[in-house]
Amino acid sequence: MSEECCDFIDNREELRRRHGEVLVAKITKHFLDRFLTRKARDYRKLDLMTIRSTILNILRDGKYYATTTSIIVFHPTYTIVACFDREHLVLKTVMRTKELNEKLRKLIDKGRKVLWRDVIILMPRRILQK
């Protein structure tokens, strides 16, 4: 039998393994675009620091539901869909929690709180250069 190399990451196991450690979250450009189009309220001043602090609050205080392919973070205002990619949690998209479909709403009760030692958020380079 030959050895197989697989880059598959089981997000459920990865979340269990990293519980209580430092979470490094990487924001994608798609995530930022979705955040701007699906924002829950009109912010007086919407800049990168406001977005970063909002995401920090969601990741710190939200309930996590993990499947093999993705991680869903439920918060009263926003819901984030993400997945682990080696050492980072890559944030893919964001939705308003009150606009979730019934299938996702049922998963909120199954989510559990995860305590992180610290949360570090990495922004895309193209956004930082503007």
Q: What is the mean pLDDT of each run of 10 residues along the chain (130 residues)?
A: 60 91 93 86 78 93 94 95 92 94 92 94 69
Q: Is residue 118 part of a domain?
A: yes
Residue 43 counted as domain residue: yes
Range of the domain at 70: 11-123
Domain count for the chain: 1
Residue 130 lies in a domain: no
Q: What is the DSSP string of 57-92?
A: HHHHHSEEEE-SS-EEEE-SSEEEEEEEETTEEEEE
Say what the pLDDT of residue 93 is.
94
For residue 55, is it within any domain? yes
pLDDT of residue 126: 65
Residue 127 confidence (pLDDT)? 59
- 88 belongs to a structural domain: yes
**CATH number of the domain encompassing residue 26:** 3.30.2310
